[in-house]
């Protein structure tokens, strides 16, 4: 479902394996230009994050965990913290969505997180 208001977004968290990756995929599906990064990125995107996105027909193809140090941090309309106390002095955080990290939780918690992200993005 494409959005007519294209916004350039950066989603940041700690591991860049769950919330921010889901946000990136959903934002892209809504027609935004999106990236994600973490202050201490993990090795791969969480399996349950991939599963709950595939349930709604989305893919994380070409996405991978990356460091906030490795991305160009200017030119974004909004930089959104997923809500884990991310302190990125070189990033001007626009919003903090205060989402609890689903890492290691049941798949239903990933679904709830995915749906919250979708709702936040729908309100942009």
For the chain, the structural domain boundaries read 8-122
Measured torsion, CA atoms of residues 47, 30, 92, 20, in degrees rounded to the nearest 10:
-10
| Chain segment 89-120, per-residue pLDDT in tens | 677 888 999 999 999 999 999 999 999 999 99
The confidence band for 71, taking pLDDT boundaries of 50, 70 and 90, is confident
74 or 58, greater pLDDT: 58
Q: How many Cβ atoms sit within 10 Å of the Cβ of residue 89?
A: 5
Report yes or no on whether pTM surpasses 0.75.
yes
47, two tokens:
């399996």
pLDDT given for residue 88 in this prediction: 65
- Which residues have CB under 8 Å from 80's CB, separation 6+? 9, 10, 11, 12, 23, 93, 94, 95, 96, 97
| Chain segment 44-70, per-residue pLDDT in tens | 999 999 999 999 999 999 999 999 988
| In the predicted structure, residue 87 carries a pLDDT above the cut 80 | no
Superfamily per CATH, domain 8-122: Response regulator (3.40.50.2300)
The burial of 107, by beta-carbon neighbours within 10 Å (0-12 exposed, 13-18 middle, 19 or more buried), is given as: middle
pLDDT given for residue 124 in this prediction: 81
| In the predicted structure, residue 2 carries a pLDDT above the cut 50 | no
What's the whole-number average pLDDT of the chain?
90
CA 88/CA 2 separation, integer angstroms: 30
Residue with tokens 């993990």: 42
The confidence band for 123, taking pLDDT boundaries of 50, 70 and 90, is confident
């Amino acid at each position: 479902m494409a959005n007519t208001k294209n916004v350039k977004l950066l989603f940041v968290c700690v591991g860049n394996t769950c919330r921010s990756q889901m946000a990136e995929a959903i934002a892209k599906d809504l027609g935004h230009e999106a990236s994600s990064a973490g202050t201490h990125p993990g090795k791969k995107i969480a399996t349950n994050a991939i599963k709950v996105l595939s349930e709604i027909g989305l893919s994380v193809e070409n996405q991978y965990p990356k460091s906030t140090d490795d991305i160009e941090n200017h030119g974004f309309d909004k930089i959104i913290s997923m809500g884990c106390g991310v302190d990125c002095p070189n990033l001007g955080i626009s919003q903090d969505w205060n989402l609890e990290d689903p890492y290691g939780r049941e798949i239903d918690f990933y679904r709830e997180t995915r749906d919250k992200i979708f709702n936040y993005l729908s309100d942009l």
